[in-house]
Amino acid sequence: MRILVVTATPQEVAPLVAGFGPARGGSFHSRLQSYSFSSHDVDLLHAGVGMVPTAVWCARALGAGRYDLALNLGVCGSFDAAVSPGAVVHVVSEQMTELAAEDGDQFVTMQELGLIGRDEAPFVDGRLVNARPPANRVLAALPGVRGITVNTVHGSERSIAAVVRRFAPQVESMEGAAFMYACLVHDVPFAEVRAVSNVVERRDRSRWKMGEAIASLNAKARELVEAL
């Protein structure tokens, strides 16, 4: 099986990569490296932070190669008290909450403006949805959650309350929707797997559990790939 693993930063998948076979180089300079792992060929793409670089590099990688599976591995913040720091989740839907317009005090989405149909491909009822995740016992055991993708992570009580009221998200990242959009357009089976590093609240890094999240993410990712 040929797998594309997409991550924003090398640090998020360093423990997983440490168990890969020797790198064989890549075609996107330092962005893409090829490895072997558990009888699979694995291309690792460091796409960078944010929607724009993720969309561009994912589209280039998926357009240049034929993949049996794409995995987005990273950390996220949680709005949901039931999804606590250190938990590993499968993000099954995404929304780009800032893809909207302001009309005075009103917040109007692109779908509400009629610029994007609610079911215009690849959207389903205004969301990007992973309707056909790969059959994998490890992935199936993870809690499925609703994600949002943002350019500015939430860190004020006012903005958090507003986004929860409008979209009812469980987790947020800066890359998930871009990855999901690219996979849906290229018709490549995919999964977005993330570990919660922090509660979405007023920014307080002393409360974050980044090390625990990365360790949990990489352990689960290794199990997932080995179960393919």
What pLDDT, on the 0 to 100 scale, is given for residue 28?
A: 59
pTM of the predicted model, to two decimals? 0.93
Please list the helix, strand and coil fractions of the chain in percent, rounded to the nearest 5, in that order: 30, 30, 35
What pLDDT, on the 0 to 100 scale, is given for residue 111?
A: 86
* Token pair of 167 as six digits: 């979209």
> Hey, what CATH topology would domain 2-226 get?
Rossmann fold (3.40.50)
Contacts of 179 (CB under 8 A, 6+ apart): 6, 47, 54, 58, 70, 72, 190, 192
From residue 25, how far is each of 11, 34, 42, 143 by CA, in Å? 19, 6, 11, 35
Q: pLDDT tens digits, the chain, 228 residues: what are they?
A: 999 999 999 999 999 999 998 766 555 567 899 999 988 999 999 999 999 999 999 999 999 889 999 999 999 999 999 999 999 999 999 999 988 888 887 888 888 888 888 889 999 999 999 999 999 999 999 999 999 999 999 999 999 999 999 999 999 999 999 999 999 999 999 999 999 999 999 988 889 999 999 999 999 999 999 999
Pairing of strands 2-7, 69-78: parallel
- Give the integer Cα–Cα distance in Å for 75 and 171: 10
What pLDDT, on the 0 to 100 scale, is given for residue 108?
A: 86
What pLDDT, on the 0 to 100 scale, is given for residue 114?
A: 85
Structural domain boundaries in the chain: 2-226
